[in-house]
Amino acid sequence: MKVSESVLSVTNETLKISSSFYLEFIDITEQVEHAIKNSNVLNGIVVVFSKHTTSAIVIQENEPLLLEDFKVVIENIAPSSANYMHNDFETRTVHMHEDELPNGHSHCQHLYLGSSETVPIIDGKMPLGQWQRIFMIELDGDKASQVEFREVVVQILGQS
Ligand code: ZN
């Protein structure tokens, strides 16, 4: 369907997502749907973007046993018990904070999962498949306990 000519609008919203543990899958689909509704965009795209290098955005199925499988797979990609140079605070000098905690595994896992998902908006809705949900995955449990929330930017671009 060809979309009629109308003004392009851009809406930005930052979701504050409270996470609490390592490999927590947080379904943020409803929050993204809410942001789309607020934007009044009927046809366009929505970008869901994590501002963190240790929390990822993915589209997957929210089936509890499958989420447990994912945790095993992600832990296998970069085991939390393995050695990472990023965790060697004796020799590392870059991006060191006072409250730095070892999270080399979190970054390496994120490398495979990515920071964002882009979804079309058609007639005011994301045309998600029956089982598709948008998740933020917390890859750093220590960080999650240090900060109040994670930030996920939702940018909606389209025509109303
Ligand atoms: Zn780090």
Residue 131: per-residue pLDDT: 98
What's the rounded Cα separation, in Å, for the pair 146 and 106? Answer: 15
* pLDDT tens digits for range 8-35: 999 999 999 999 999 999 999 999 999 9
> Measured in angstroms, how far is the CA atom of residue 90 from the centroid of ligand 1?
14
Q: Which amino acid is at 43?
A: N
* pLDDT tens digits for range 59-72: 999 999 999 999 99
> Measured in angstroms, how far is the CA atom of residue 16 from the centroid of ligand 1?
20
Report the predicted TM-score, pTM, of the whole model to 2 decimal places.
Answer: 0.92
* pLDDT tens digits for range 44-58: 999 999 999 999 999
> Measured in angstroms, how far is the CA atom of residue 4 from the centroid of ligand 1?
46
pLDDT band for 1, please (50, 70, 90 cuts). low
> Measured in angstroms, how far is the CA atom of residue 87 from the centroid of ligand 1?
8
Which are the contacts of 69, defined by CB distance < 8 A and separation ≥ 6? none
> Measured in angstroms, how far is the CA atom of residue 81 from the centroid of ligand 1?
15
Task: Indicate if the pLDDT at residue 42 is higher than 70.
Answer: yes
Q: CATH number of the domain at 19-91+99-159, please?
A: 2.60.120.460
**Average pLDDT along the chain:** 94
pLDDT band for 93, please (50, 70, 90 cuts). confident
Please count the residues of the chain: 160
Output the 3-class SS for 41-91. CCEEEEEEEECCCCEEEEEECCCHHHHHHHHHHHHHHCCCCCCCHHHCCCC
> Measured in angstroms, how far is the CA atom of residue 144 from the centroid of ligand 1?
13
Least confident of 46-55, 131-140, 145-154: 145-154
Element (H, E) at 28: none
> Measured in angstroms, how far is the CA atom of residue 99 from the centroid of ligand 1?
11
Least confident of 87-91, 94-98, 102-106, 108-112: 94-98
CB 113 within 8 A of CB 74: yes
